[in-house]
Amino acid sequence: MEEILKKIESEYGTPVYVYFEKEIKNRIKNVKEIFEGINLIPTFALKANNNPALIKIMYESGFGADIVTVGEYKGAEIAGVPKEKIVWNGNGKSKEDMKFLKDKIKYVNIDSFEEMELWKNIKTENIEFFLRVNPDVDAKTHPHISTGLKKNKFGIPAVKLEEFMNKYNDNRIKGIHFHIGSQITEISPFIDAFKIGLEISKKYNFKKINIGGGWGINYDGKEINLNEYKEKVIPILKYYDEVILELGRYIMGPSGILLLNITRVKQGIDKVFVVTNGGMNLLIRPVLYNAYHEPVFLNPTGKKAKIDIVGPLCESGDKLLWDKELPIPEENSLVYFKNAGAYGFSMSNNYNSTLKPAEVLITENEEIKLIRKRESYEDLYKNIIL
Ligand SMILES: *Cc1c(COP(=O)(O)O)cnc(C)c1O
């Protein structure tokens, strides 16, 4: 690992996101195994990572695309994902986007009565509607990524579904959809939601369901137990003729790292600040969700200290990790952060006029492949008009 990362640094520099094809494919294999015996339409949620070179790998392994925006649709299109494998999600679909996408996708998850009002007057071909139901179930995850409670902005409240079905007798409605949150590490929220789903599905004779994503990965010791999922959740899904799945984090999170250079090791009063050449502009999850991404120093010294790993941006919130007892690394050496393949690059930004980093894939044959060039300063100002 160390050697290949040094090679990547010398060829493409840092900061750089590095992805592992082998891990992506392993995870896809796991998914297929868990859903054995079920007619599964698996999709990848592009909001977790929108690099078409990666989407293409997933598509070639049987995954479609879950998109929220036209921008994500374009990513799926570049990767070659066909219409039959594209699901469109979102609570704020605009009328213009509906007209643009309606014949380019197959599945739409309807978020509200108000959205359905608009679809009523839009002619579509072969589109299938799934009603996103808000079951008022606690996913027991971070509040920002919990979506299935009545206080959350998503979905049609389960208690209003009957009213919805009476109001819209639309034969494009084929089933319901749940996505109760992300980074869910317990099985019971899925069971609770899908049991509610089964009742609804039987009542309206829906033989299809879209079960969303949300599988939690191991950032800090806790992760979803897939054996338990297979044992307790899959039997509920056996009722359906077709199950659509939308996974983001589970596929890409552990399949990528963020590789940075340590610009400075600065002695503070009661801790050591390890200053890297990327911060919350590249990986915002630590400050946004209080998330933990395990760091690995390539050149640790023998000395330990209380450490903050911080970026170079001009605000104190710009940090990747804080108050951890760790070995002090050498200046001008490499550090990488694990589990950064999902919601890493896709949430990155240009704060402080920094450049978006390069992305590199380590292929199954251990070849290094550049899959996104580092942004240039020209890119940064290309839309400016003086
Ligand atoms: C974010 C999202 C997903 C993917 O969630 P993960 O937790 O990354 O698996 C799937 N479906 C919908 C509707 C989403 O909003």
The reply to whether 377 sits in an annotated binding site is no
Q: How far apart are CA 272 and CA 264, in angstroms?
A: 10
Nearest-atom number in ligand 1 for the CA of 47 is 1
Contact 48, 293 (CB under 8 A): no
Which of the listed CATH numbers 3.40.50.620, 3.20.20.10, 3.90.110.10, 3.30.70.1560 matches domain 21-253? 3.20.20.10
> Residue 306 contacts by C-beta under 8 Å, 6 or more apart in sequence?
270, 271, 272, 323, 324, 325
Q: pLDDT at position 370, please?
A: 98
Does any ligand 1 atom lie closer than 6 A to the CB of residue 111?
no
> Residue 46 contacts by C-beta under 8 Å, 6 or more apart in sequence?
55, 65, 66, 67, 68, 72, 75, 76, 248, 346
Return the number of other C-beta atoms located less than 10 Å from residue 300's C-beta.
15
Q: pLDDT at position 247, please?
A: 98
User: What's the number of CA atoms in the CB half-sphere (13 Å) around residue 83?
Assistant: 10
Q: pLDDT at position 142, please?
A: 84
Q: pLDDT at position 145, please?
A: 79
What does pLDDT average to in each consecutive run of 10 residues of the chain (386 residues)?
97 98 98 98 98 98 98 98 98 97 98 97 95 90 83 93 96 97 96 96 98 98 98 98 98 99 98 98 97 98 97 97 98 98 98 98 98 98 98
Common-topology check for domains 1-17+256-375 and 21-253: no
Q: pLDDT at position 211, please?
A: 98
Q: pLDDT at position 50, please?
A: 97
CATH number of 1-17+256-375: 2.40.37.10
| Residue found by looking up tokens 């980074």 in the block | 183
Is beta strand 242-247 parallel, antiparallel or unpaired with respect to 208-210? parallel
Does any ligand 1 atom lie closer than 6 A to the CB of residue 248?
yes
User: What's the number of CA atoms in the CB half-sphere (13 Å) around residue 178?
Assistant: 30
Q: pLDDT at position 310, please?
A: 98
Q: Ligand 1: which of 91, 182, 215, 250 to mutate, most ligand atoms within 8 Å of CB?
A: 182
Q: How far apart are CA 101 and CA 146, in angstroms?
A: 27
Return the number of other C-beta atoms located less than 10 Å from residue 80's C-beta.
11
User: What's the number of CA atoms in the CB half-sphere (13 Å) around residue 227?
Assistant: 0
Does any ligand 1 atom lie closer than 6 A to the CB of residue 335?
no
Q: Which two tokens stand for residue 365?
A: 């044959």
Domain residue spans of the chain: 1-17+256-375, 21-253
The reply to whether 247 sits in an annotated binding site is yes
Residue 214 C-alpha to ligand 1 middle, in angstroms?
6
Q: pLDDT at position 113, please?
A: 97
Based on the residue annotation, tell me whether 314 is a catalytic residue of this protein.
yes
Q: pLDDT at position 150, please?
A: 86
User: How many whole angstroms from its chain centre is CA 261?
Assistant: 25
Contact 182, 188 (CB under 8 A): no
Q: Ligand 1: which of 49, 63, 68, 89 to mutate, most ligand atoms within 8 Å of CB?
A: 89
